[in-house]
Structure formats: C-alpha cells, structure tokens
Structure 1
C-alpha cells in the first residue's frame, strides 16, 4: 500500500456517519468536539464556519468541502459569526432530525455533515500534521476527483435508491481520501507534502510500506532508493522526522496494533506479518511503544 492509504487505514475505525441538514433564515448550530474527524459538504447555499479556540471564520459556498481532521468543536451559521451568535447556537444533535426550514425566510442552505471514527492511539504523523480546518473551495477544474465524489454523494442521499445503504459509506470513505490528497496538493507548508514529493524519500517509504516485514537495513533501503546510505539517512530524517529504521520500527508496531484491534489472528501471525521473529519479540517491542501488552491492547485496555 502507499503511505497515504496506510496512514488513513491505520487510524480509521468503523464506518463513517452522516446527516443531512437543511436550514434557512437566521440560524446557528454548534457541533461539539469529537474523538475523530468531522466534515461538511455544502450541497447548496452558503454559510460560515467558526472553529473553537479563536480560529478564523471560514466562508463556505455551494460545492465547498471542509474537513476537521482533529475533531475540533465549531459553529455553523447563516452569516458572520460573533460572540452573541455562538451563545445562541443550538446543538447540532437537537436540529439534525428536525425540519428547520423557513425559519425567518431567506435562502435555504443544505449541507451533508458527518464524522469519521479514528483511533488516536495509532495516528500516522501525516494525519497528525493536518491543520485544524482543511477548507477545499469548489474551484472550477480544481481536484476533479473530489468534485466527482461530492456530486455522487449528492445523488446518493436519497435512501430510497437501491443500494444506497452500501454506496453512501463507501463514498464517504472515498471522500476522506480525496480530501487528504487535495490538502497535500495545495499545502504550502508541512513536512509530509514535501516528503512525498521527494523521489528518494518517497521510494524508501513506499518500500517500507509495501513490505514492512522484509529484513530491511539502511544499506538495502539505500540500494532500493538508488542513493548512498548517508544520502538516504540525511534526506529521510530531515523530511520524515526520524531515521529510516526508527520509522520502520514505529510503522511495524502501528501495523501490529491495527491487526490486534481489527482482527483475531494469533499473535504469532501478527509477529510474522510485521517483521518480528517471535511473539515474544513483538510483545517486548509493543509494550515499550504502547505501554501495554498486545493481549491487553486487543481487549481495549489502556496504559
């Protein structure tokens, strides 16, 4: 798998959820902080988003997509948001199942609001680097695959269409990939967008993610990347934030955590799949990284 796919797969759990929100007139709703990632797709109309913590308001128009990858609390409103608006905000849970159209007239706004369940204990640094709010405006010609996913989502929101119960969560998973990909394309700062455009680092990362259980060494990885060990170590460490073998160890343990939580395969199998010679070797490294044994981690125990 590639790094972006692995980064998302490692942290994502369960299935995404979504709700349609139709409002008009003067309105203001609040969404509480969430242990996952939130998103909004503006299907029609326009509104404003104000993140918690004094962040800058974000103006959203038809076709815009916004991702809150760290589950930040925020307010959505019909127009500019001030302190008085935040105070009058209605909890989203109280209005999402209620028809609040035509309150005070005005243009109707329709949004698709949803959440992704994420396991923060094994978040990849690529996901951790995402800003609190990722706003992807609906620009003509920009990110055509994201635009196509938004269009498909809008068509699948009618749950009376055959197969919609399967199509919608699958499209939401696709939306997350496209949002992360679009952010990486547009990011002007950040480590990972640079790391994944550097040919040496990208080749090394792809090798480690494709065959994490292989007996990699600095020498064999440098040969794979077509550079000297010194060049690989310098470029990889500068862009990724840790040396190649340290990253490999971390990634193997993250994979092991994913397998333990998501499957019931024996510990010996997990050890073999992640490059450890025995369950004991995996258990020792896992406990040092996560502060809990693999068995206790599998049952949901925390340090």
Structure 2
C-alpha cells in the first residue's frame, strides 16, 4: 500500500457507518464528540456547521465536511435556528415539516483511541472540501456512489457501502493534502510532495523490520544524509529514525489488536531483535506492556451518524 493507505489501515478499527438524514427547516442537530472521525455531505439544500470554538462554516450542495477527531459541533439550517435534537443511534432518518428540505449524508469511522499518527494529528478539527466544478472528480464520484447505495439499498449494498466509505475517507484526505500542496504548505502535504522524503517514508513502511540507518536511507533515495535529515524533519516534524520507531510501534499495536501472533513474532516483524527490547520500547510509547495492551484492545464502539 501507499503511505496514506498504510497509515489509515494502521489506525482504523471496526467498520465505518453512514446514514441519510432529511430535515425540513427550521432544524438544528447537535453532534457530540465521537471516538473516531466523522463526516457530513450535503446532498440537497444547505446548512451551517457551528463549532464550539470557531466561526460557523456554510455548507452547500456537494460540500464535504470531515472531522478527523470526531469534534463536537452543531448543524443548523440557518444561523437563527435553534438546536432541537441530538444525534443518537436509531433516531428517525426523516422528520417532515413545511420548510425547505435538506438531505445530509452523515458517517463515522472508528479509529484506535490509543493509536495515533502525526499524519492525522496535524489535521485541523474541521476540513471543509467545497464542491467545485472540475475539482476532485474522484471524491465526487465516491459521494455519488455512496448516496445512491444509502438512498436505495440493493443486493450487495451491505458489502458495497463500507468499501465506498473507506474510499471516501482516502479521497477526502487526498483532496486536503493536494490543496495544501498547491498552497505550498509544509507538514505531511510537503512530505508527499518531496520525492526524497516520500521515498524514505515508503522504504520504512515497506520494511519496518529492516535495520535502517540514515546513510542507508539517503543512499536509497538519492540525496545526501544532511539533505534527507533536514527535509524529513522539516516536513514530518521529527528525524527519520524517530519516525521509524513510531511507525514500528504503531504497526505492533495494530498487530496486537488484530492478530493472535506471539509477542516474539510481532517484535521480529517490526524490527526488534528481542522480545524484551520490544516490550520496553512499546511500554515507553503506550504506557503499558504489549500483553496488557492486547488484553485491553479497543472494542468497536457505537457511533451515532
């Protein structure tokens, strides 16, 4: 997998969910914090998202709003409408009324609460991807597919919807990083746009068990050690080998939660020559030994969408 797909796979748990909601003005919904990431897509009408500590954001038809850390917020049809309901599992999907109709596609992704990655950590609380003619056609295609499957489920929809949701998540993030790269922003957008940094990341993701050194990485990507170290730290926020340790332990956390592999096997797969060294590094990163982490691995949570 590429770096973005690899990272999402490492922090994802459970299955994504989505639902179609129809409201008639005036309306206002409160969305509490969720243990994962959430999104809204406006299919018909318009509305406003009101974060608790930021300016309201106007959403129109085709706009996508993504919350990487499931931040709480309100959705209202106009700035003067009161909040009269709170999102909860099993709520009515449509509430009739005399006012203007708004159709919203809402969804959530379960992310490991004890796993983190700087790629998602650096994202803002709210990412607004407005509908723009000719921009992000793949994202628009995914939105259309998802809306059709949710509105009129058919044979195979139970398999199709989670797959489209996974695709939508990647396309939203791709659209965001592409926009940041066009603005010549730093961070992970800059890392993806820098061939040497991207190649070094790919090498470490492809083979975390390898005993990488900065000289070996720099030779593999074709730049000097000083250049690689400078570019990598400027975009990623930490030196190459510090990131390698982070990625190894995040991969180990995923394997502990998703497999029954022995600790010695997991240690070897992520580049540790002894189970003791692995356990010491893991506890330093996650606060608990690997075995305890495995016993307390996240169970899927119920998320209102």
Q: 1:91 aligns with which of 64, 78, 86?
A: 86
What's the secondary structure of 2:95's corresponding residue?
Answer: coil
- Alignment of 1:151 with 2:144, yes or no, is yes
Distance 1:232 1:99, change over 3 A: closer
TM-score where L is the length of structure 1: 0.92
* Runs of 4+ more than 6 Å apart: none
Write the mapping of 1:74-223 to structure 2, written as runs, cut at 5 A.
74-81=73-80, 85=81, 88-93=83-88, 96-97=91-92, 99-102=94-97, 105-158=98-151, 160-187=153-180, 188=183, 189-223=185-219
Matches within 5 A, 1:1-303: 1-53=1-53, 55-81=54-80, 85=81, 88-93=83-88, 96-97=91-92, 99-102=94-97, 105-158=98-151, 160-187=153-180, 188=183, 189-300=185-296
Q: What is the Cα deviation at residue 154 of structure 1?
A: 1.3
Q: Which runs of 5+ in 1 are unaligned?
A: none
Q: Distance in 1 between matches of 2:44 and 2:175?
A: 21
Deviations 1:2-38 (A, max 9, x none): 2211221122110011121101121111111112111
The CA deviation at 1:121 is: 2.0
Q: TM-score, normalised by structure 2?
A: 0.92
Q: How far does residue 276 in structure 1 lie from its aligned partner after superposition?
A: 1.1
Deviations 1:106-125 (A, max 9, x none): 22111111111111322110
Supply the distance in 1 between the matched residues of 2:89 and 2:273 (Cα, whole angstroms): 53
Deviations 1:134-193 (A, max 9, x none): 011111111111000001011101454000011111111111101111110112444111
In the superposition, relative to structure 1, how do residues 160 and 247 fare at CA in structure 2: closer, same or farther (>3 Å)?
closer
Q: In 2, are the aligned partners of 1:10 and 1:123 still within 8 Å (CA)? A: no
Supply the distance in 2 between the matched residues of 1:8 and 1:139 (Cα, whole angstroms). Answer: 26
Gaps in structure 2 of 5+ consecutive residues:
299-305
Could you tell me whether the CA contact under 8 Å between 1:36 and 1:119 is conserved in 2?
A: yes
Cα pair 1:43 1:63 within 8 Å, conserved:
yes
Shift of 1:39: 0.4
Higher relative contact order (CA 8 A, sep 6+): 2
CA distance in 2, matches of 1:68, 1:61: 17
* 1:50-73 deviation digits (Å, cap 9, x = unpaired): 1122x1111111111110111111
Question: Do the aligned residues in 1 keep the contact of 2:257 with 2:297 (CA within 8 Å)?
Answer: no
Query: How far 1:240 sits from its partner (Å)?
Result: 1.3
By how many angstroms is 1:194 displaced?
Answer: 0.9
CA distance in 1, matches of 2:173, 2:56: 21
Q: Secondary structure at the match of 2:273?
A: coil
Q: 1:215-238 deviations in whole A, cap 9, x for unaligned?
A: 211111110111121221122112
Deviations, residues 57-113 of structure 1 (Å, cap 9, x unaligned): 1111111111011111111111125xxx45x431122884253122xx222111111
CA RMSD of aligned residues (A): 1.7
